[in-house]
Chain A
Amino acid sequence: GQQVMQIPQYQHVQEGEDFTTYCNSSTTLSNIQWYKQRPGGHPVFLIQLVKSGEVKKQKRLTFQFGEAKKNSSLHITATQTTDVGTYFCAGNSNAGGTSYGKLTFGQGTILTVHP
């Protein structure tokens, strides 16, 4: 079945440093979504990428979708303590028919920010 790998598993940064997490799928994706989960909380949707090579920005966050639609990245510029949490990518594949919105989640990257 479809697998989504995400690296690194952990990232510790000093406040103000940049952060990047990478996501790779074993199959071509129809779209990819990114979620953030604060400690003790539930995943909260950040963004969805659909087009090959797409780049989207949300303030200090930059999201990219690879040309082959099998990989993606999230880059945070100048991290702040409010960025602490786990960042998940989640892939949606229509291979073989309708996916019914099912997502395959990566393992997540746990980000800690030291003030």
Chain B
Amino acid sequence: NAGVTQTPKFRILKIGQSMTLQCTQDMNHNYMYWYRQDPGMGLKLIYYSVGAGITDKGEVPNGYNVSRSTTEDFPLRLELAAPSQTSVYFCASIGRGAQPQHFGDGTRLSIL
């Protein structure tokens, strides 16, 4: 049972480039989340989804987009990368509300 899988693990982008961070879970969880974690800081919610076809903004959505075409996958898209988006990105999932979140290993993204 793989749990939550994120790819890539590391990436360096140039300013203005775009990329998609992949997240997939094999636990048939309905709820999925994207967070960013800046050095020495807590996790900030970017976007979340409560099921296929349903997404909503979190605390820091600007500069990002998401989609949820299947229960398993919840990709995060950066359209025009900016240095302020240098961070570690975590994807998480739960089966339903008020349950512990299962996190992926993270994607470490640097934008230069």
Contacts and interface: CB of A to CB of B under 8 A. Distances in A.
B97 A88 contact: no
B104 A30 contact: no
A101 B43 contact: no
Contacts of A98: 97
Which of the four size classes fits the interface of chain A? Answer: 20 to 34
B12 interface: no
Contact of B42 (A33, A45, A108): A108
Contacts of A43: 43, 90, 101, 103
Contacts, number: 65
The A contact surface, by secondary structure, is loop
Given A88-B43, A105-B42, A100 B31 contact: yes
A48 B104 CA distance: 20
A30 B43 contact: no
Given A42-B104, A42-B105, A110-B40, A102 B98 contact: no
Given A88-B43, A102-B45, A30 B98 contact: yes
Interface in B48-93: 48, 50, 56, 58-59, 90
Interface of B: 31, 33, 35, 40-45, 48, 50, 56, 58-59, 90, 94, 96-106
